[in-house]
Amino acid sequence: MTEQTDHWETPQKILVILAHPDDPEFFCGATLARWACAGHEVTYAILTGGDKGYNPTTHPEMTPEKLRTIRHVEQQNAANVIGAKAVHFLDLEDGYLVPDLNLRRDVVRIIRQFKPTILVTCDPQNLFAVYGINHPDHRACGQVVIDAVFPAADNVAFFPELLAEGYQPHMPREVWISLTNQPNTTLDVTETWDVKLKAILEHKTQIQDVEKLFERMKSRRAEDSTEENPRYEEKFRVVKYE
């Protein structure tokens, strides 16, 4: 089932909640750029600082604290390329995300704080990805975000302490789940694919070989396109609450 379901009549508030710096760009950067170009407000909430994304053998001078600071800058630069309005970090420890009640409360707080009409996350059921085993933080992030949306985000009975903090219940109208093997929505993002690639290149600490990266990304063209006339798509599982 393939649909074009992002032809919203008015500007939308779009909140992207993902695990690591660079996840927004790799998972759905062309879509986010498409939305930003169309005048929608895109905000990132990144759960970890990406502080373990290095090889101590090849980079003995690096530390998690140094890398976290660098990746903040890289993510902000990439978001600027995409056209996102702002980037917020929870700075939880990379690799240790657990979809427990404490994190669920944090995510409910974020949803109530930013009050998005469109929420973007990733699929917790995707154990395997094109590069091998999917990172456990990705799965934990998707799980906790989905659990936060329903039944907690719009229900005063959940986390009443958030009411005392001033965060009123809120329900996004649509949840867009990226990195999924169960898509029901496909967007043609050929026009913004180069923006996605440019944004990915801002994550310099995560790119070992630019040429191989471009070869890999080029190979992801749509099946019905050609190398001479490539067409690119990004796929989602979209859940609507209207």
Domain range annotation of the chain: 13-240
Q: Residue 189 burial (CB < 10 Å; 0-12/13-18/19+)?
A: buried
CB neighbours (10 Å) of residue 177?
A: 26
pLDDT tens digits along 7-54? 899 999 999 999 999 999 999 999 999 999 999 999 999 999 999 999
Between strands 233-240 and 185-188, the pairing is antiparallel
**Gap between the Cα atoms of 80 and 152, Å rounded:** 32
Token couple for 175: 């949840």
Looking at the domain that runs over 13-240, which CATH code has it been given? 3.40.50.10320
Kindly report, residue by residue over 129-183, the tens digit of the pLDDT: 776 899 999 999 999 999 999 999 999 999 999 999 999 999 999 999 999 999 9
Indicate the pTM of the whole model: 0.96
Model confidence at 59, pLDDT cuts 50, 70, 90, reads confident
